[in-house]
Amino acid sequence: NSMFSYVLISFLMIRSCNGTDRISQNQTMADGETLVSSGGTFVLGFFKPPGSTNRYLGVWYKRSPETIVWVANKVSPLTDSDGVLTIHSDGNLVLLNGTKRIIWSSNSSSADAQMNLVAELLDSGNLVLKRQDGFKAESYVWQSFDFTTDTLLPGMKEGKNLQTGQTWYLTSWKNQNDPSPGEFSYKLDTIGLPQFVLRKGSEK
């Protein structure tokens, strides 16, 4: 009876890890597991678009799972459910396929494995890689809000950093089954008077 109680408690502890809002170094999140933001608004996990056999890592509304607001590996889909998210030995957040090959990385030059980093899904929908003891944006070494896909959420930027040249803009999915970049973009045009321009390819 005591052995049964121990097994049950252990099972419940393992189950409760699924749905936390963060992963630390040496932890992984496998396909079928999720991160849930602290306020319960957003979920990070693996999904398969309707009509597709490919799988992607993305963020969606918990109350509306079909509303995908951000996709990590939009141009490098997984072909099976063996994908794993983890923090790599170089400090970056990486997505591995079944053969442990990196198919997507946060690729931040600021990341360092000695920083004691965690990946956390914020209740804004922002997936951040940050120092474990950091609470302010200054502690982020990478954030998904800097890499917008087709959805603009409160707190995201659109425009251009004139000092670094970094741009923030929206790009449509290729189609409803494929989140790779499509024909349409909404972007700040800085030639002449700055204005936001909607384009299909190169055509305004």
pLDDT tens track for 3-45: 433 333 333 333 334 669 999 998 999 999 999 999 999 999 9
The set of residues, in sequence order, having a beta carbon less than 8 Å from that of 45 and lying 6+ positions away, is: 29, 33, 34, 35, 57, 58, 60
Q: pTM of the prediction?
A: 0.86
Place of tokens 């790009």: 171
Report yes or no: 168 and 150 within 8 Å, Cβ to Cβ: no
* Helix (H) or strand (E) run with residue 3 in it: helix 2-17
pLDDT tens per residue across span 58-117: 999 999 999 999 999 999 999 999 999 999 999 999 999 999 999 999 999 888 877 889
Confidence of residue 135 (pLDDT cuts 50, 70, 90): low
Phi and psi based region of residue 107 (left: phi greater than 0; alpha: psi -120 to 50; beta: remaining): left
Distance linking the first and last C-alpha atoms of the chain: 71
Tally DSSP H helices, then E strands, for the chain.
1, 17
Place of tokens 């030059």: 109
For residues 177 and 66, what is the distance between their CA atoms, to the nearest angstrom?
Answer: 12
Give the CA radius of gyration of the chain: 19
The full DSSP string for 126-169 is -EEEEETT--SGGGEEEEGGGS--S---TT---EE-TTT--EE-
Sign of CA dihedral 158, 126, 29, 62: negative
